[in-house]
Structure 1
Amino acid sequence: MNQNDLLNSTCATIHEARKEMANLLEERPANYSLAQPLYNDPLMFRIDVEEVFQKEWLFVGMTSEIPARGDYFTVEVAQNPVLVVRDADGSVNAFHNTCRHRGSRICTEHRGKVANLVCPYHQWTYDLKGNLLFAGTEMGDSFETQEHGLKKAFCKTAGGFIFVCLGKEEPEGDFDEFLSTLEEYMEPYDVENTKLAVESNMYEKANWKLVIENNRECYHCAGNHPELLNSLLEWDDTNDPRASQEFKDHCKDQAAAWDAEGIPHEHKSFGPGLRNRIVRMPLKKGTQAMTMDGKAGCNKLLGRIKNPQMGSMRILHLPNSWNHMQSDHFIVFRVLPISAQESLVTTKWFVHKDAVEGVDYDPVQLRKVWDATNEQDRVLGEENQQGINSIGYQPGPYSETFEFGIVNFMEWYSDTIDKNLKSR
C-alpha cells in the first residue's frame, strides 16, 4: 500500500467511525450509560478530541497564576500544546505553543516568566502578542515576519477563570451570558488578589467521560469519601429530589446571611445539559471549609468576604472542570484527555495573595481532603474502566434521582457531538 492509499484508508476509517459514533449516540436510551466503544476505542477517542476538545471552550487556569507581564503557564490538550501568557497591557493571550519555523515548542516549562517568547531551537523571537520580532538574516530578504506570528487560540476570561478554544471558529451558544454571570458571582473573591498555594496532577487510567461522570453524582460518596463528607452536603441544591427539609431550612438560613453581605447565590444554569452551572450551597453545620476538621484552611478570608460561613459555590463547566469556592480558599479542577483510557486531573488550591505559608495556611492540611478524595475517585474510575473493557459489559441505567447530573452530562455530550459532526 502506497502513502496515498494509506491516507485514503485512514480517512475512510475515521469517516466510518464518525458514522458509528453518531449511530451509537442516537440509539442510546436517554438514561443509560454509553456503548463500550465510546469509553475505550482509540478512534472514538480521536473523534472526542476533534469534536469536543478542539472545538469547545475549555477551562485551563486562573488569571492569578499569571499576575504580571510575561508570566505564563503551559497546558497540553490531547497533544496540542497551548501557551497562556499575560501581556504588557494586562490582557491574557493564548497561543498554540509551536514555533512558526519548524514547529518546536517555544515554552517548555510548566510555568515561568519571560520578556519575549524565544524558541529554544533556533531563537525565533515573538512578543507577548505573538508577533514575530526576530528570525535572523538567514531567512532571506523576501521573508515576511508579519506572516509568521504565533497562531492564536481563542481566549476569554471572567471572574478570574481562563477559557480557551482551539477551534477555527468560536462555538455558538450562550457562553458569554455564562461569563457575565461568572464575573458577577466571582466578584466577592477578588481573584486577582489571590495566589496559587499548591497544585496536584493525577493520571487516572480511565476515559475522560468516566472522570466527569463520577464527579456528576454523589451516589458513591457515602461508601467512598469519608473525608469529603466531614464538610460536604451531597445535595446539589434545594430542588434535589433527595433533599431533606432540614437541608432546605439550613439553606434558607444561610441564604439570609449571604443576602445580608451582598453575596450572590441564586442557582444559574446555561446550555443543554446544564453545561455551565453556578450554585452556592452551605457546608455542614459547624464547618467553614473543606478541610479535615471543617475549620478554615487559611486565616485570611478572600476578597470582601467577612462571613466564614460562605459554604461552597460550585461552578461546573463542561467538558472539563468543576470548582469549589469557599470563604478562605478555593479549589479548581481541570480534566484533560490523554488517551482513550487515560486522563489527567489537575487540582489547584488558591488563597489570599498576602497569606503567608506556614503562618496563615499549611499546604499539607489545605489539600488533605481533596488529595484523599481524588485518590478514591481515581480507584473508582480505573475499576469502572476495567469493568467496561470486559466482553460482559453492556450499558446500564442511571438513577434519575441520584445520578441526574450524569443524565445532564450525557445530554450535553450527545448534543455537542451531534452538532459538531453535522457541521463538518
Structure 2
Amino acid sequence: MVSLNRSTTENEMVDAVQLQALLDERREGFSLARPFYIDPAFHDLDIDAVFSNEWLYACNVAEIRAPGDYLTMEIGETSIVVMRAQDGEVKAFFNTCRHRGSRICSESQGHVHRLVCPYHQWVYDLDGALLHARQMPAGFDREAYGLAPVNVEVICGMVYVCIADTPPDITRFRRSVAPYIAPHAPERTKVAHVETLIEDANWKLVIENNRECYHCSGNHPELLATLVEFALPDDPAGSAYFRGLMESQARHWDAQDLVHLPADGGNEFRCIRLPFHRGAVSFTPDGSPACLKLLGNLTDPDLGSVRMFRVPNNWNHFLADHIIHFRILPLSANRTALRTTWLVHEDAVEGVDYNIEKLTSVWRATNAQDARLAANNHLGVASKAYVPGPYAPSEFMLRNFTNWYAGKLAAYLEKTELGRRTFTLHAHG
C-alpha cells in the first residue's frame, strides 16, 4: 500500500486529485504524460499499484531443476525467493527472516539444502517451515514463524508469482496460451545462457519499445534478417510477399494442428504464431537452426515463432529449436533490469547441438540496440518540451499497454479510496 505519512519534499508529492486529473487528461492512442515516465514518485506508485498487485513472470522451471535450487527476484524493496521444494513443487517465499527481518538469500541464484538466515542462523526447510531457532525459550512455537508464502502459478513450465494477498485471476491467460506453447515443451528444457542488462529508461518505455516494430527497419538489421516485422496475419500494411508467406505457413501449421491465429488477450496479453522469412527457421545470423536438437517431440524446424507477451513484465519467443524468455523489473524511475534467458532441449549438448554465440548473437545485438533506443527515449521525455505524441497504426500494442496501465492506476485509486485523500509517495535513491 502507498504510505500516506512519509517524509518527502514538495516535488516528490503526488495527490490523488492530480493523479486522477492526469488519467482524465490522457488521450487514448497517445503516449503517456511526462510524470508517468520520469517522476520518482510514480516509480513508487507503479510498484504498489502494478507490480505488487499483478502476476509477474519469474523464471522457467528449468532454472530451478533440483530441490534446493533457487533464484531471488526484487519487486521494489521487496525480495522474494523462488525455489524447488523437496517434494519437487515450485514454491515462493518472501526473502525475509521471521526473526528480525534480515534477508536470507543474498545471491541472485543458487542451491541450498536449507534456508539459513545469515544474521542469527534461524533455519528453514525448503517448504518454508522453521526448523531451528537457536536460543529461543522453551515453548517457542516454531510453526507460527515459517516463511511468508508468495502466490505461485506454473504455466507450461513458466513460473509466475504475485505478492498480493489476493492475486488477480490468471485462468483466462493460462487457458488461452497453453495450446500455443505446449508443443514447444518449455518444461523439458535447460538453460543455455542468461544475461541481465540494466537499461537507463523507465520500465514503461522499455515495454513500449518492445511492443512495436515501427523502429525495427532503422535499428535492427540482425533481427530483421529473419524476423518478419508485421505483427498480424492480416496486417493491412503487409506486403504481397508477407501475405503469401503467411498463407503458405498457415497451411503448413494447420496440417500439424498447430494453433497460430491471434489469441484474444485484450489488453492483458498477446499470443500468436508468425513465420520467419522464407528460408529462415531460427533467430540466427543466417536463419539456420540455432540448435540441432528440436524442442519436445517436434520434428519440423520450420514452425516460425510463437510470440507471447503478458503485462507487465514478460515477452517470449517459442521456436522449434529454442526458447527465449525476457523479464523486466523496474529498479527506479529511470533504470530497468532486463533479464534474457535462452533455453534449449534438456538433452541438447553444447558444442555438438548448439553453440552459445550462434544461439544468442541476434538477440544480444537487438537488446543492446533497444537499450540505447529506450535510454534516448527517456532523455527526450525528460525534456520540458515533451508532450504526448500519437501512436502509428502499427503501434496498436502500445495503445493496449497504456490503456491497461491507466486502468491499473484507476483501479488502485478506487480500491484504496485514495480518490478522497491526499497521499505522499517517497522517491527512493
Shorter-chain TM-score range = over 0.9
Contact 2:31 2:390 in 1 (8 A): yes
Distance 1:366 1:320, change over 3 A: same
Contact 1:21 1:44 in 2 (8 A): no
| Counterpart for residue 413 of structure 1 | 405
Partners of 1:36 and 1:78 lie apart in 2 by: 21
Contact 2:186 2:323 in 1 (8 A): no
Which structure would you say has the larger RCO, counting Cα contacts within 8 Å and 6 or more residues apart? 2
Partners of 1:69 and 1:259 lie apart in 2 by: 40
Are 1:404 and 2:396 matched, yes or no?
A: yes
Number of aligned residue pairs: give it: 413
Partners of 2:50 and 2:303 lie apart in 1 by: 34
The amino acid across from 1:156 in the alignment is E
Q: Deviations 1:173-198 (Å, cap 9, x if unpaired)?
A: xx212112333322212222210100
Give 5+ residue unaligned stretches, structure 2: 417-429
Aligned partner of 2:274 among 278, 281, 290: 281
CA shift, 1:301, in A, is 0.3
Q: Tell me which moved more, 29-38 or 100-109.
A: 100-109
Partners of 1:144 and 1:241 lie apart in 2 by: 66
Partners of 1:210 and 1:408 lie apart in 2 by: 14
Of all paired residues, the percent bearing the same amino acid is 44
The amino acid across from 1:99 in the alignment is C
| Counterpart for residue 20 of structure 2 | 22
Partners of 1:116 and 1:8 lie apart in 2 by: 37
Distance 1:116 1:184, change over 3 A: farther
SS of the aligned residue for 2:264 comes to strand
Contact 2:234 2:243 in 1 (8 A): no
CA shift, 1:90, in A, is 2.0
Contact 1:159 1:191 in 2 (8 A): yes
Residue pairs, 1:4-403, within 5 angstroms: 7=5, 16-136=14-134, 138-172=135-169, 175-271=170-266, 273=267, 275-399=268-392, 401-403=393-395
Contact 1:84 1:95 in 2 (8 A): yes
CA shift, 1:9, in A, is 5.5
SS of the aligned residue for 2:87 comes to coil
Partners of 1:353 and 1:122 lie apart in 2 by: 39
| Counterpart for residue 424 of structure 2 | none
CA shift, 1:17, in A, is 3.5
CA shift, 1:341, in A, is 0.6
CA shift, 1:25, in A, is 1.7
The amino acid across from 1:165 in the alignment is C
CA shift, 1:210, in A, is 0.2
CA shift, 1:15, in A, is 7.8
| Counterpart for residue 423 of structure 2 | none
TM-score by structure 2 length? 0.92
CA shift, 1:120, in A, is 2.0
Partners of 1:68 and 1:236 lie apart in 2 by: 38
Contact 1:17 1:44 in 2 (8 A): no
| Counterpart for residue 427 of structure 2 | none
SS of the aligned residue for 1:268 comes to coil
Distance 1:14 1:418, change over 3 A: farther
Partners of 1:292 and 1:332 lie apart in 2 by: 19
TM-score by structure 1 length? 0.93
CA shift, 1:80, in A, is 1.5
Q: Tell me which moved more, 69-78 or 36-45.
A: 69-78
Partners of 2:141 and 2:10 lie apart in 1 by: 38
Q: CA RMSD in A?
A: 1.8
CA shift, 1:285, in A, is 0.6
Contact 1:193 1:352 in 2 (8 A): yes
Partners of 2:124 and 2:29 lie apart in 1 by: 50
Contact 1:21 1:38 in 2 (8 A): no
Partners of 1:103 and 1:313 lie apart in 2 by: 42
Give 5+ residue unaligned stretches, structure 1: 1-5
Partners of 1:14 and 1:101 lie apart in 2 by: 33
Partners of 1:95 and 1:18 lie apart in 2 by: 32
CA shift, 1:89, in A, is 2.3
Partners of 2:6 and 2:317 lie apart in 1 by: 47
Distance 1:8 1:59, change over 3 A: closer
